[in-house]
Amino acid sequence: MNTVNKPFIAKHPSVLKIPPLGMDAGGLEEDFCRYFNHTLGWDKAIVSSHHVYSSCALVLRDRLVERWRRTQRAYDESGCKQAYYLSLEFLMGRALGNALLNLELTGAGAEAMRNLGLDLEEVQELESDAGLGNGGLGRLAACFLDSCATLQLPVTGYGIRYEYGMFRQKIEQGRQVEEPDHWLRNGNPWEIERPEYAVRIKFGGRSDFYTDPDGDLRARWIDTQDVVAVPYDMPIPGYRNGTVNTLRLWKAAATEEFDLEEFNAGSYTEAVAAKNAAEHITMVLYPNDASENGKELRLRQQYFLASASLQDVLRQWVHKHGDDFSDFAEKSCFQLNDTHPTCAVPELMRLLMDEHGLGWDEAWHITAGTMAYTNHTLLPEALERWPVGMFGRLLPRLLDIIYEINARFTEEVSLRWPGDTDRQRRMSIIEEGDIPQIRMAYLAVVACHSVNGVAALHSELLQQHLFRDFFELWPGKFNNKTNGVTPRRWLASSNPLLSALIDRSIGEAWRTDLSALAALREFADDSEFRAEWRQIKQANKRRLADTVARDCGVEFDPAAMFDVQVKRIHEYKRQLLNVLHVIHLYDRIKRGDVADWTPRCVLIGGKAAPGYAMAKRIIRLVTAVAEVVNHDPATQGRLRLAFLPDYCVSAMEVICPAADLSEQISTAGKEASGTGNMKFMMNGAITIGTLDGANIEIREEVGEKNFFLFGLTAGQVEAARGSYDPASIVAADADLARVMHLLESGHFNLFEPGLFDPIVQSILSPNDPWLTAADFRGFVDAQRKVAEVYRDRERWTRMSILNSAASGKFSSDRTILDYNRDIWQLSQVPAHAE
Ligand SMILES: *Cc1c(COP(=O)(O)O)cnc(C)c1O
């Protein structure tokens, strides 16, 4: 509640007194009709299906707002510690089904729609995904918000309200084509604009040093070109607990007087153009997953998010406590989702010193005490570095502060290791060279009191390699928080049939305590239960087969094994290895090696970064192989391959309940955690995977007999560098040699000679970092085992049930409880009762 409205409400408290909204079908129906007739669909000519959807959303939003206010009041009045999750990405997907589920309105909502002659499921399909993220990192942020609300933890998400989210992927002539995702075109009924909380963000200009009236040397940032950040709030409902948390997304807008100055100078059109330039900052999400691109606009986005969010938190603090920050660190915590929001470190220092008058030591104590950093990757191409020159032009005052942080840090290193100048250079936040760069990961490690990886292996490798020197200096900072996914979206909502069977068998507690799924273990030996389990999988497979038929024009037989790999297209994830296996199966069919064949439908989906040529070529290979395989009569009833366009959250909700086999085949040591692997496991898919990321923990939980393991270990991958000889691997393996021959001979690209030469070369290169050839034999053998087990339906079903039963650890509720226990230390605060 802002300060302008507070006195008004104090004088007129009755404006807040309205009876609670109806939570039955009748109440929903009545409100729907009112929205539809009065607000949105009043003119026959403008009635469109999206008004139906918008009316539904507004009916639910009202019910969320009631609970939202009570939650925020409870947080406010308890004076509790709060955490802020800073992320450039929130891959939320759709909100309507989630609101229905969490408000316990799915049944009443369906009934209300039926009474009006509408179908709730069709209405849900009208919502576009909020695709404000690339992949796992952004989806993790979304799952975390769901878990925090469900656990009644006072956590606010801060992000950017991109006008255009993740591009929509079309496939034309076998190639990826990107289309802009204007997800806000029809408005966003879930958001509430809060212009009263807009803040100014500075760019450019210079630092000015002056002596204040007390005789202290101070700095200020002047001659800046400012942009306004306007917040839009999205409600984040907890699961049936009356709690609604906030995701606050910032949109960039021009300042008013900026326009005026230009106008007075007589350049009206330039002023309007400048307005446009300001708004560019939040125009589009950068579509790069696990790689940085070094663009200045991206740095602007990062600083924009960090500054707006910190100013927002500090404004609320000052409103309550004035300029007394002595308790601030005890009451606040910022979690940085990767290095993307790391500008928050120097920005908090700047705000505390330049705007609130604190000294360096006091400001540093608060900054280090409140900031925590989550690392998401070891891949060198993903580690953010900003050229000092660019950074200093855009954010000169922040650069001063980073230099000072580095100077003090370097002194600490030299005291710990006197004379070790090599180590000082290695650990410096500034990387020297022709173009000196700021190493954002080092800045985050130096400033934050907690540094975590996202799976046990990943956290271990961080300590041994990327942050080795820092681990020696501060071993206590480093910890692991294995990722998780929310069982509400990824099981309860996406797989209603399986959820109902689980409810009937073991009760409903699993929705908020996923470890309760362990009770399913005893049902694995119950043949009637297994038959039901199988029937549900079949129904889910039919639903996916419909999608594949519609979007790919390929017929999948639900009786066949569904072998699925969906994730961003990246060489380290090795979609290529998957395709090599499909080519191998095709080759076996063509050679008549089909005794005891297990019919298999292979589904691959995912987006390639628009500038990532090799990833796009791999998509082209999948579609080319699919074309040949699917049209060869010999493969009929044995093998199908399809590339599913536009993989996104709502697609995954259809895919993961229908998969038999989950492909998690990254080069060991490269996938930080993976979360797709967890969604599949929960829904009873069995994993074929390497010892990478969270696969290791999945295998530990489910037992080695219920996991198809293959491939080199991270240690072996590391050791192979320098001695890797793929040509001799190919020569020694007749199956691989035939696959390579089919690729080289142009069998899949008769009309585009040379199309796949770069792919062949990458496999045959001794410098192939992904070691595709090295893992081919192990993968093919493991797949043979998969096929054999799948033919034993009872055995497969038992393994499927055991996978679901063992997935309890991979709830994001567990992950969030770990963050809270070790890093945030928040109390659970229930929302006020009505
Ligand atoms: C879960 C998810 C991911 C992450 O998948 P990984 O296999 O862990 O890379 C990416 N995109 C979407 C849409 C997801 O739902």
List of domains in the chain: 21-78+104-128 (no CATH), 82-94+131-193+232-248+288-482+819-824 (3.40.50.2000), 487-807 (3.40.50.2000)
Say how many Å lie between the CA of residue 10 and the centre of ligand 1: 47
Residue with tokens 């979206």, as numbered in its chain: 489
Residue nearest to ligand 1 atom 5, measured at CA: 676
What spacing in Å lies between the alpha carbon of 135 and ligand 1's midpoint?
A: 5
In short, whether 135's Cβ falls inside 6 Å of ligand 1 is yes
Q: What does the pLDDT average to over 262-273?
A: 71
Identify which of 325, 149, 356, 138 has the alpha carbon closest to the alpha carbon of residue 234: 149
Residue 567 among the catalytic residues: yes
The sign of the torsion formed by the CA atoms of 777, 778, 784, 787 equals: negative
Residue-wise pLDDT tens digits, 326-371: 999 999 999 999 999 999 999 999 999 999 999 999 999 999 999 9
pLDDT digits (tens, 9 = 90+) for 628-642: 999 999 999 999 999
**Alpha-carbon distances, residue 491 vs 161, 392, 487, 652, 742 (angstroms):** 28, 47, 5, 11, 41
Asked whether the predicted pLDDT for residue 258 surpasses 60, the reply is: no
Ligand 1 pocket, residue 672 CB under 6 Å? no
pLDDT at 45: 59
Assess whether 320 carries a catalytic annotation.
Answer: no
| pLDDT tens, position by position, 480-495 | 999 999 999 999 999 9
Residue 5: band (very low, low, confident or very high) from pLDDT cuts 50, 70, 90 = low
Evaluate if residue 79 carries a pLDDT over 70: yes
Exposure string of 445-477, with b = 16+ CB inside 10 Å and e = fewer, is bbbbbbbbbbbbbbbebbbeebbebbbebeeeb
In which residue are the tokens 């650890």 written?
A: 809
Q: Is the pLDDT of residue 290 over 70?
A: yes
What's the confidence (pLDDT) of residue 12? 80
Q: Give distance in angstroms: CA of 126 to centre of ligand 1.
A: 22
pLDDT of residue 260: 56
Q: For 692-715, what is the mean pLDDT?
A: 98
Best of 567, 663, 688 for a ligand 1 pocket test (most atoms within 8 Å of beta carbon)? 567
Does residue 295 have an active-site annotation?
no
* DSSP per-residue string spanning 181-238: E-TTTT--TT-EE-GGG-EEEEES-EEEEEE-TTS-EEEEEES-EEEEEEEEEEEEE-
* Residues facing 222 on adjacent strands: 206
Determine whether the shortest distance from the Cβ of 93 to ligand 1 is under 6 A: no
Q: Is 11 a catalytic residue?
A: no
Q: What pLDDT score does 8 carry?
A: 74
pLDDT value for 220: 98
The pLDDT confidence band at residue 256, using thresholds 50, 70 and 90, is: confident
Segment 75-94 shows an average pLDDT of: 98
**Which ligand 1 atom minimizes the distance to the CA of 674?**
8
> pTM for this structure?
0.97
The CB of 136 under 6 Å from ligand 1? The reply is: yes
Residue 137 Cα to ligand 1 middle (Å) = 8
- Ligand 1 pocket mutation, candidates 137, 488, 568, 653, criterion most atoms within 8 A of CB: 568
Q: Which tens digit of pLDDT belongs to each residue from 506-559?
A: 999 999 999 999 999 999 999 999 999 999 999 999 999 999 999 999 999 999
User: What's the pLDDT score for residue 1?
Assistant: 43
> Of all helices (H) and strands (E), which one includes residue 385?
strand 385-387
For residue 391, name the pLDDT band (cuts at 50, 70, 90). very high
pLDDT of residue 473: 98
In this predicted model, what pLDDT tens digit does every residue of 188-233 receive, in sequence order?
Answer: 999 999 999 999 999 999 999 999 999 999 999 999 999 999 999 9
Task: Ligand 1 pocket test: pick from 137, 564, 675, 697 the residue with the most ligand atoms within 8 Å of its Cβ.
Answer: 675
Tens of pLDDT, residue by residue over 437-469, are 999 999 999 999 999 999 999 999 999 999 999
Residue 675 annotated among the catalytic residues of the structure: yes
At residue 16, the pLDDT reads 75
CA distance 649 to 672: 20
Query: DSSP assignment, residue 284?
Result: B
- Residue 710 pLDDT grade (very low, low, confident, very high; cuts 50, 70, 90): very high
